[in-house]
Amino acid sequence: MKTLAISTLIALVLVINGFAEERVRISVALSPTGSYPILIAQEKGFFEKNGLKAEIIRINSDATNSQALISGDIDAASGVPTGLVQFNLQGIAVVNLGSWDNQVSYTLMTKDKISDLSQLRGKKIGINRITGRSALILRVMLEDAGLNTSKDVTLLQLGGSQERLAALLRGGIDAAPVDFVFERKMQKMGFHLVPSKKTPFMNGPVTVTAANLKANRAKWTRFVKAYIEATHYMTVNKAGSIDVLKKFILPGEDNDTLDHVYEQMRDRATVNLITPDPAVENLIKMMTYVDKRSATIDRGKLSDYSIVRELIQNNAVPVKK
């Protein structure tokens, strides 16, 4: 009885002082580039500081991530923008609490050096599959550059990155999309990065169900606070951020590659987590290729920035108003 009373007293003291940890389960992709601040928040103690015990779960596909969210197996899905549109079209209310990365994550690599995306007109571009996420985002990129992907280029389904690399080497294709974290490695192999503007795209949202947000708003406030703090940390603490990058995203890479990727990540960071309208529109454009109803979706239902705005208004996070 005495031991029980002491345990109860300790728990009560922790709650009063705001240190009681509440569990939150977050999914990230197997290649978790779009969840970089989530990994930093876990590794550098921002979740713990804000009273959260985070469990990060790696899931291998957007579809599985989204289904796990709806089933309640996870509390939040990180870096899975497709589900935002798909579930809202089905009448299932899910919302983005904030997105740190709002640019397309792919760049185009070529064997022969070219100076502009428009020079790909008439060329062959290797992709995984026509309906794959990288291929759909590629269509957004090319159309943003004024190319019609049905007429101006030929998209060839070749499989994964190894197959596309082999096709580039032997000249079977002229270009292939590559995640920006592999730019330096591809350049060292003799390939060329096609210069282009950064196409806006909601790439790193944290998605929760609207019901979960309403029922657990205090928990999600602490979560968003930790998320913003970690994103800010990423922009000001290079050494600590590279430690996380090396451990979880690019293990075994050389310092030059790590430095290059970090600088890219820092430049991409939207610290206030509010997605610019063009990035939302390009996400919807991508999803319209799959389901034409996406074009008329209510944009206001895709995100809920009320927590972000409250934290900024109350000077609770390191973001300028």
pLDDT digits (tens, 9 = 90+) for 212-270: 999 999 999 999 999 999 999 999 999 999 999 999 999 999 999 999 999 999 999 99
Q: What percent of the chain has pLDDT over 90?
A: 74
**Residue 9: pLDDT over 80:** no
Stretch (H or E) spanning 186: helix 183-188
pLDDT value for 321: 66
What pLDDT sits at residue 94? 97
Return the structure tokens found at 284.
């919807």
- Quote the pLDDT of residue 315: 96
Q: What band does 50 get if pLDDT is binned at 50, 70 and 90?
A: very high
User: Is residue 21 helix, strand or coil?
Assistant: coil
DSSP 200: B
Which has the higher per-residue pLDDT, 70 or 132?
A: 70
Residue 160 makes CB contacts below 8 A (sequence gap 6+) with 128
Q: 20-103+202-313 and 106-193: same fold? A: yes
HSE toward the beta carbon, residue 290, CA cutoff 13 A: 18
What average pLDDT does the segment 269-278 reach? 97
Q: State the DSSP code for 276.
A: P
Backbone angles phi, psi at 216, to 5 degrees: -130, 45
Model confidence at 132: pLDDT above 50: yes
Give the residue carrying structure tokens 């240190």: 19
Evaluate if residue 14 carries a pLDDT over 90: no
Mean of pLDDT values over 30-50:
95
Q: Per-residue pLDDT tens for 111-129?
A: 889 998 989 999 999 998 8
pLDDT at 293 over 90: yes
Q: Which CATH architecture has domain 20-103+202-313?
A: 3-Layer(aba) Sandwich (3.40)
Q: Mean pLDDT check: name the lowest of 29-43, 64-78, 154-168.
A: 154-168
* Domain boundaries along the sequence of the chain: 20-103+202-313, 106-193
Burial state string for 168-201 with b = 16 or more CB within 10 A and e = fewer than 16? beeeebbbbbbbbbbbbbbeeeebbbbebeebbb
Is pLDDT above 50 for 8?
no
Give the C-alpha separation, 101 to 204, whole Å. Answer: 5
Share of the chain above pLDDT 70, in %: 93
Is a pLDDT exceeding 90 seen at residue 96? yes
pLDDT at 20: 63
Domain 106-193, CATH among 3.20.20.100, 3.40.190.10, 3.40.50.970, 3.50.50.60? 3.40.190.10
CA pair distance 245, 134, nearest whole angstrom: 22
Q: Between 284 and 7, whose confidence is greater? A: 284
Q: Name the least confident of 96-100, 160-164, 216-220, 253-257.
A: 160-164
Which of 200, 178, 198, 202 shows the shortest CA–CA distance to 189?
178
The pLDDT value given to residue 278:
97
Tens of pLDDT, residues 175-210: 999 889 989 989 998 999 998 888 999 999 999 999
3-state secondary structure of 209: strand
Mean pLDDT of the chain: 90
Containing 193, the helix (H) or strand (E) segment is: strand 192-193
pLDDT reported for residue 39: 97
**DSSP run (H or E) holding 19:** none
Among the listed residues 123, 117, 177, the one whose alpha carbon sits nearest the alpha carbon of residue 146:
117
Quickly count: other Cβ atoms within 10 Å of residue 17's Cβ. 9
- Does residue 12 surpass a pLDDT of 60? no
**Residue 165: beta bridge partners?**
none
Average pLDDT over residues 75-87: 93
